[in-house]
Structure formats: structure tokens, C-alpha cells
Amino acid sequence: MKPGTGRRGTRTALFTRRNARRLSAVCSVLGTLVIASAGLAPGAAAADDVQSKQWYLDAMGADEIWEHSTGKGVKVAVVDTGVNPNTPSLKGQVLVDEVPKTAKYHVTQDYDGHGTSMAEIIAGTGAGGGIKGLAPQAKIIPIRVGLDQLKDQDERAKSLTSAKAIRAAADSDAKIINMSFGSEYYESEEEDAVKYAASKGKLLFASVGNDGARGNKRSYPAGNPYAVGVAAIDKTGTVGKFSTYGNDADLAAPGLDIPGWCDNTFTKYCSTEGTSPAAAIASASAALIWSAHPDWTANQVLRSLIDTAVRKWPKDEPSKYLGYGVVRPRRVLIDKDINPGPANRDPLAAENGADPDEDITAAVSPSTAPSGTPSKPAEKADPASGPTAAAAKDADSGSDTQTWVIIGAVAAVLVIGGAGFAVLRARRNA
């Protein structure tokens, strides 16, 4: 397939097909912060109780994962609303001094609470009863974006555009860039920034968006080539009704009933849902793998996640709801003979409109697409949607179905860690 074509389409197609940069959490990053209270009564949990709400750690087999890797030695850039380095769970975890000088400003104070939540989901130590990160020994480099909900003009002047923030993250020592935000507006500068980061060997995860139940508009930066779009599932493995679906969903991860800070006072946690935490869990999964295999490249880490992802459908027919499947880092870590494939070949080359035989670090070129409209607030996922499944039309039967599948055993459930985890079969061509 020639460069400029593929699942993500040409740059013109990017503008028309992915015109949604929705915040990937019920906590909207670009619009007014709203927390869904499903799962935690009366909508918040004391810090000493929050870890009991982290159902996904058991589902993913975290205790066994941590016997093999804790993310040590891997840095994750969190491009978000800032990160509070002083929460009990993040003390010693946030490398404020490593924000690159190219960022121009080193202001990292979290004006929302969202970025701190993502950082804790990735690398929280769990100290003080706070959120325990899936990769608790990874480190966080905070890159603050001046999103539209930041009304203070002085603070906005100290923050970065998404394009500049992604470039700053690319210039840091982070191996992974987490982008749990989105907007419906395409920007060529942002696409160029994502490509720049990919050319420097970074692995970028972006929330795919929360518009699945309301128009299913495309979201950026998830809509850009070389951004790995992450969809959200609940504790049964069912894709969230709100989770934006289509060609941009590359992988899936837990994203419903996930604890996060209620606001920027950092006094209590709330139950959240959306593709924001799903992207953070995917980033943490990559950090675990890269820590265990420090000589691997971004291509190899991503390929290992794709190859081991939970799915029933054929690998070459990715689901439009769950992409190549649900991330399962445990399977990578316990396989001592796993083959990560070639170091310099992009496993999503076709989707990214790239030559599969070309090295991305040498092949990425800037976009020539016209600039989009400046970003504006995005909407939150609909709390009323809750942990529901999106109905999928089965391509084989021609009927609307929800097919529960079994992976790795003739049993009633799918197992991604040690716990039961059913996954909705929903083919992308449905």
C-alpha cells in the first residue's frame, strides 16, 4: 500500500473522517470536567478505599504481572491538564525537572485533576491508599496542555498547544506518550507533531473518543497516523456504549468504573468512565513490556501487544469496536520465547498509510494538509450510557448481535489475566 493511504486514509480523509477530538474520559479534558458516579456511592470514595475499586488490576492479573515487571526504567509523558506530583500515590514518581526546554514553559500544575488521575493510573505507587498504577515503578514526565476549559488567561499563556505539547514530549526521555484528550478538529500541526514523535521512536497512545452513542464523530489526536487509538471496555469485557468506534480503534482496555480524582482539590476520588483511562492503561501496559525488554523498539512493543491481545476474530479483520483486541501485557511478560518481530517495521503500517517495508524513523514526513479550525470544548461521554455494550452487526450472519467469545480455553469466559473477562465480538467491517 502506498504512503498516504490505508485504514486511516489520506490526509484529506483524515480531515473528513476523523473530525472529533473528544475527550476520552467522562472527565472531559477539553470541555467542562464531569465525573460519572456509577459504581461508587455516593459518587466518591475515600482514598483508603480506592484500590478496592480498581477491578481491572485483578482482571489483568496484576499480581502476576508485577512478578515479571513493574515498569522500572521507563518514562511516560502524560500530555494532559498537568500532574500534581504531591499526591501520596505520585510522590517521587513525577519528573517535573525533565520537562524539555523546548516546552518553553515548565508549568505543570494540574488545573483540572484529570492529568493527575491518568498519571496515577499509569504509575501510582498506591501509597496512602491512593490509586495503584499498573506500572508502579514507571516514571511520569508531565506536559501541560492549555485546553479550553482553562479560563485563566495567565495560566493559558504558560501552557502549550497540543502540537507543541506532543513535540515537547517527543523531545523528552519518555518512551511512551499518553494522550487522554481529544477534539473534533483536525490540525495539521498536531498531525506533524505526532509523526515527529513517532520518528523519534516514541510509542503514542490516544483515547479514541467518547462519541460512540452520539454521532460517533472522529477524535484527534487518535485520528492521526501513528497514534494508537484505544477503546474502552467494562469489567465484563463489553465495549462501552460511549466508546467511539470505527477505523481508529486499534486496541481496547478497561475504561468504565475506573477511580480518578474528582477535581483539582485532590480531596476525593470519583468513579469515571471513558476512553481516557483506557489509553492510560494501554500506556502502562506498554511500559511494563518495555521495562522487561529494554532493547525492544516501539514497533516491537506495539506488535507484542497486538499479537497477544484478546480477540476471537481473525487478526487481519480487526473489530471496529475493539480493534485488534484487549491489551494483555501479562501474556507478553510470561512468554520467554515471544517473538516481537522486526525492530524497524510498523505493525500498523497499513493503517497509517505507510510502506510496511520502510523504517518509520526515516520515513515520516510532515503533513501538507490544510490547518483545521482551532480547538473548542469537547463534550463528555454520556453518564447515562453506563457500562453497556454497543450492538454490533455480525458480518457473517447479517444480523445485529452481541457475540460473547472464548479465548484460550473451552470455557464460558475469556481470561486476560486470572479473572473472567468476556469480550464482545464486533468486526470492523460490520
Chain centre distance of CA 380: 16
In this prediction, residue 86 carries a pLDDT of 97
The pLDDT tens digits of the residues spanning 198-244 come to 999 999 999 999 999 999 999 999 999 999 999 999 999 999 999 99
Classify residue 408: in a domain, yes or no: no
| Burial class of residue 153, CB neighbours in 10 A (0-12, 13-18, 19+) | exposed
**Is 420 inside any structural domain?**
no
CATH number at residue 190: 3.40.50.200
How many angstroms separate the Cα of 80 from the Cα of each of 150, 254, 278, 372, 404? 12, 19, 14, 21, 35
Q: What is the pLDDT of residue 103?
A: 73
Residues of the chain with pLDDT under 70: 1-48, 104-105, 360-430
Asked whether residue 21 is assigned to any structural domain, the reply reads yes
Neighbours of 322 (CB within 10 A): 34
Within-domain flag for 399:
no
* Domain tally, the chain: 1
The reported pLDDT for the residue numbered 359 is: 77
Residue 88, preceding bond cis, omega within 30 degrees? Answer: no
| DSSP-based three-state secondary structure for 318 | coil
Asked if residues 40 and 270 have their Cβ atoms less than 8 Å apart, the reply is yes
Evaluate whether residue 198 is within a structural domain.
yes
28, 110, 114, 219: which one is catalytic?
114
Judge whether 68 counts as a catalytic residue: no
Q: How far apart are CA 24 and CA 210, in angstroms?
A: 6
80 is known as an active-site residue: yes
Quickly tell me which residue has 485533576 as its cell.
Answer: 113
Q: How many whole angstroms separate alpha carbon 388 and alpha carbon 240?
A: 5
Sign of the four-CA dihedral 138, 139, 140, 141:
negative
Beta bridge partners of 393: 400
Q: How far is CA 237 from CA 158, 196, 219, 387, 388, in A?
A: 40, 34, 23, 10, 10
Q: Is residue 397, in this structure, part of any structural domain at all?
A: no
Domain-located, residue 2: no
Catalytic residue among 276, 291, 367, 385: 276
Residue 326 lies in a domain: yes
> Is 114 an active-site residue?
yes
How high is the pLDDT of residue 85? 98
CB of 32 within 8 A of CB of 377?
yes
Domain span at 84: 11-364
Quote the pLDDT of residue 155. 80
State phi, psi for 112 to the nearest 5 degrees. Answer: -135, -40
Distances 12 to 4, 104, 223 between C-alpha atoms, Å: 9, 31, 12
pLDDT of amino acid 8: 53
